[in-house]
Amino acid sequence: MAILQKHGKNSSPDLVCLKETPPDKTGVAGGHQKKWSEQNTNWPRPLARIWTVVLLLGTCLLYCARVAMPICAVSMAEKFKWTKREQGMVLGSFFWGYCFTQVLGGYVSDRVGGEKVLLLSAAAWGAMTAFTPVLAHFCSQPIFSMTLARFLMGLLQGVHYPSLASLCSQKVVESERGFLMSTVGSGSYLGTLVIGGAGSLMLDLYGWESVFYLSGLLSVLWAYCMWKYLLKGEGPIITLESLGNGGPQPKLTKRHWLRLFKQPAVCAVIITHLCTASTFFTLLSWLPTYFKDTFPDAKGWVFNVIPWFVAIPSSLLSGCLSDHLISQGYDTAGVRKLMQFFSMGVSSVFTLLLCGTNTFPTAVAFVSATMGFTTFSHSGVSVNVQDLAPSCAGALFGVMNTCGAFSGVLMVYFSGYLIEATGSWASVFALITVVNLVGLVTFLAFAEARRVDIDTSKARYHNIHI
């Protein structure tokens, strides 16, 4: 493909950064020594592999706790006499909370370290999950307590992915970021499978309370193990002084944020992530209804499980492939574009094929292919933000995720309107394809992999003053 080009060692992004890094008082050698010390902050490969497994389990538990309420919603609605509207209010309150802490979580992670934010948030949302049945039983108005609990869950879990982006940009070398992000991203599909299977079984055997207790306590246990064995018991305290003065990344001023948002490559990743998140939320929300309407006699576990089984190895494959291509000398921007082409271009082909599908096995195959190729974005736009602005990757990813969450909610509602107005699922699949193509064309046209958080407009040897 034309977008893939090999480059030599002399054109590596690290050397570009060296040219744009001012020499310190010790001269050029001091500048190289400073760059060398920055590289030493990266995890060694064995430690990076350990962190990859730990973050994979953490993301898996994140989704176990997140999906616990949708699984138990029917049983809780029967017990507390909720209407469909009240049930929808409880479920929807999560996403409104989820939107508000994306940027804040990324900003704090850039300042004090993503591992601290991940630890504190996991302990908090894990405890909130385990405490949910208590709130439901001992509150006089369970509908209000559950709506508030889900809103708080959204607030606490909203910092997870921006913190991951910040942590990865600070600790992982460029040629290994694709594997880590795609592996950790597959934890969302694994968590959905685990809570869907084990949670449904526990719901039938022990009641809906057991689902919250188990997922919440396991999340708190995960946070404790990370603190005890990876952080070596260091206090995860975040102070105002650490936010204002210290931290692994310096602070960007308002003027430099405005300059950053004027960069075409930054606008491209925001628009592309917005489109990716919108189509993913739409598929996630409406595919079960599509199968129920189109194939009413089909087994629910088939279309609820098989696509996610396909998504897990597909996500891992994309990470291995992208890192391999970069390590072989292919242009980083070209690799990111190739991964996004598979995610938004190839997946759209299978989405369109759903319009003329008449058999259940064929529909499951096309949906599985769609979800599988969609996961390639973990090695595309999701990692590209770390290439562009490692000094503020967490906060910038928070901006992307906030836009994606808001647009996703709106597109889910609009898709429901289209279904009622047209009476055809083809209109929804066509909408998904159009949105995907808009994001893909934008990314292919404007995406880059060079750092844009460095100011080279005034002088050759000056970084942004932060």
- Each residue's pLDDT tens digit, 76-91: 988 999 887 788 788 8
Closest CA to 247 of 102, 397, 106: 106
Assigned token pair, 85: 């509207």
3-class DSSP state of 234: coil
Assigned token pair, 109: 């992670």
**CA 356 from centroid of its chain's CA atoms:** 32
Pick the range with the lowest mean pLDDT from 12-26, 211-225, 244-258, 311-325. 12-26
The answer on pLDDT for 280 being more than 80 is yes
Cβ atoms within 10 Å of 301's Cβ, excluding its own: 11
pLDDT of res. 34: 40
Q: Cβ(95)–Cβ(152) under 8 Å?
A: no
Q: Does residue 291 or residue 438 have the better pLDDT?
A: 438
| 226 DSSP assignment | I
Assigned token pair, 425: 């699922």
Closest CA to 24 of 34, 15, 36, 16: 34
d(CA 166, CA 105): 10
Closest CA to 106 of 442, 439, 389: 389
pLDDT of res. 256: 79
Highest mean pLDDT among 69-73, 181-185, 279-283: 181-185
Burial category of 29 from C-beta neighbours within 10 Å (exposed 0-12, middle 13-18, buried 19 and up): exposed
The amino acid at residue 93 is S
The amino acid at residue 22 is P
| Residues 307, 311, 314: CA angle, nearest 5 degrees | 140
3-class DSSP state of 324: helix
The amino acid at residue 348 is S
Q: In the chain, pLDDT over 90 holds for what percent of residues?
A: 54
Mean pLDDT computed over every residue of the chain = 84
Cβ atoms within 10 Å of 22's Cβ, excluding its own: 11
Closest CA to 382 of 170, 139, 185: 185
pLDDT of res. 3: 57
